[in-house]
Amino acid sequence: MRYLLVIPSIDIKNGKTVRVVQGIPELGSKEYGSDPVEMARIWRAENAKLLHIVDFDGAATHSHVNFPIIREICESVIIPVQFAGGIRDLDDIHLIMETGISRLVMGTMAIENFELFKKAFEKYGPTKIAISLDIIDEELVIKGRKIKTGIHYIDFAKKMAEIGVERFIVTDVLRNGILGGPNLDYSKTVANITKAKVTLSGGIRNKDELMDVQNLMLDGIDSVIIGRALYENRFPCQKLWRVAESGIF
């Protein structure tokens, strides 16, 4: 039986993680750091198989200030690192690929400059480039989820699938980061229409919702990106493994 891949998200802003892991009450109120590299090592120690890194500075200001941190993360863990945020041109793509990431997740550039994106996609291929679909009320939003495009997510997903995109990261923006529950319909629709692999991002609150997604694996949804719920220790197994590990240090 295949199991759903759970991908921890590390969101970076001003060189630090946007969220820190809250401590287990039985172990005291310790918080696990604002250092993105430390955070990557923690998730790797907790058996993550893939990390999703979001560069908030890049998305907001087209900055490369966090690229050295991305490189250090890639060099510090032995698992693949997936990156998203602020990639606008071919130079950006070259620089971020040089850090050692395994996959680049793109949205804005594919919408605003399709021909340039297509050129990059032809160079790097579907294993290295995935498409993010950030959705508000069935409409795609770009540039750090601040700009509405007027483009329906299904239309764009079809267009991307036609050129060979094999993975979509699907986010219901209104549920992301607020523990609003996953939007299964968006992800299932994209998977069914494109026949591509889909990563559901955002909204997951507990193990029952993970099982809801697990039940959709035959539809092509093979992974989930989780941020806040992991950082807030909302899964029983987290308590078990952290209590077990507390005597190690």
Domain ranges for the chain: 5-245
Q: What's the DSSP call for residue 31?
A: E
76: exposed, middle or buried (C-beta count within 10 Å: 0-12, 13-18, 19+)?
middle
Q: What is the pTM of this model?
A: 0.89
Is 17 within 8 Å of 33 (Cβ atoms)?
yes
Q: What is the mean pLDDT of each run of 10 residues along the chain (249 residues)?
A: 85 85 47 82 89 92 94 96 95 97 96 96 97 95 86 98 97 77 93 97 87 90 90 67 42
**Which superfamily, per CATH, for 5-245?**
Aldolase class I (3.20.20.70)
Choose the catalytic residue: 11, 55, 172, 222.
11
Residue from 104, 89, 3 nearest 53 by CA: 104
Tokens of 237: 């197994």
Tokens of 119: 């050129």
Tokens of 15: 């060189």
The phi and psi torsions of 181 (rounded to 5 degrees) equal 85, 150
11 is catalytic: yes
pLDDT of residue 79: 94
Choose the catalytic residue: 55, 57, 92, 134.
134
240: number of CA atoms within 13 Å, CB side? 3
pLDDT of residue 139: 96
155 is catalytic: no
For residue 157, give every residue at least 6 positions away whose Cβ sits within 8 Å of its Cβ, in sequence order, or none.
131, 133, 168, 190, 193, 194
